[in-house]
Amino acid sequence: MTESSAPGKVYLFGEHAVVYGEPAVPCAIERRATVTVEERDDDRLRVHAQDLSLDGFTVEYSGETGATPDVDVSTPLVEEGIGYVDAAVSEAREAADAPNAGFDITIESEIPLGAGLGSSAAVTVAGIDAATRELGVDLSDEEIAERAYRAELAVQDGQASRADTFCSATGGAVRVEGDDCRSIDAPDLPIVVGFDGGAGDTGKLVAGVRALREEYDFAADTVESIGDVVRRGEDALADGDLAELGRLMNFNHGLLEALGVSSRSLDGMVWAARDAGALGAKLTGAGGGGCIVALDPTDETTTALRFTPGCEDAFRAELDTDGVRAEDA
């Protein structure tokens, strides 16, 4: 039996634009997904998941990965979650040259599913690491990140970026621009997360931005402007200028809102955070629902969010400098 964990993330800047080759800066946070894997003596997969903003579920099935399991839970999030598990298993089998390996897999997560905190990336990264180690193969963090990216690319119909999986595999703050992924220095960031209890449809939201870019030149310019904000944000991050980071986060949210990926609940939490004195606040992830990220060294933003209609949870999230790691099973 082998167990691995990997962190979730927030985007300081750059979601959506990163799909089009613009830079992005995500940061790993100390909320993790843990995957426990035990090899079976057949080719079947048994997946038990819990704490994924659902009541939990257990499925067992066989055949090629990618087959649709019989899941008695009526939600596309479950089907999407199983898709990431299948893709992770496929990558692990390939890495270990064990195409018929079967596994019992248990997933526990502190990261709400589909909320913009990188749950799928964390599960995929931790799953690949645990499954390959269970088969006697140790991969570098960089190879795990590459295989996790390929897995997400398959599930997301070719519209994934390397940002989430690289951040989850390596930890800390990272800069991603196209195929160029690297860790960057970051100061202690007073990160506060607000969660509306919902989840956006990543594929639909990404497709919506793509359609806008194709129809309107100014929408394409908006995506490029997000890239400009990211570059300014990198300088502020290097200088430890939290006030400037906050101002640029506010700009980034406005541009994402113009692209149609925010929501009433996300905007409400953003403004509640700003009114409480946050240095800056924006949605994080695909949008449409889920989470916002704010910078505030005081407790004011957390308190304000907890009393904001539409906010189900608010919490401080420390920067996690650890990426994927082995745990004691």
Which entry of 86, 129, 141, 164 is annotated as an active-site residue?
164
- Give dist(CA 163, CA 20) in Å, integer: 12
The residue length of the chain stands at 329
Token pair in block for residue 133: 């180690």
Helix 119-134 to helix 141-155 angle (10° resolution) is 120
Helix 242-258 to helix 217-239 angle (10° resolution) is 170
- Give dist(CA 129, CA 143) in Å, integer: 10
- Give dist(CA 209, CA 196) in Å, integer: 22
Cα-Cα-Cα-Cα torsion 274, 283, 265, 204, nearest 10 degrees, comes to 160
Give burial (CB, 10 Å; 0-12/13-18/19+) of 107.
buried
For 280, the enclosing helix (H) or strand (E) is strand 280-283
- Give dist(CA 281, CA 61) in Å, integer: 43
CB 192 within 8 A of CB 291: no
Residue 79 DSSP label = H
Per DSSP, the three-state class of 41 is coil
Q: Who contacts 94 (Cβ-Cβ below 8 Å, separation ≥6)?
A: none
Phi, psi dihedrals of residue 142, rounded to the nearest 5°: -65, -40
For 253, the enclosing helix (H) or strand (E) is helix 242-258
How far, in whole angstroms, is CA 292 from its chain's centroid? 13
Is 267 annotated in the active site? no
Q: Which residues are catalytic?
A: 164
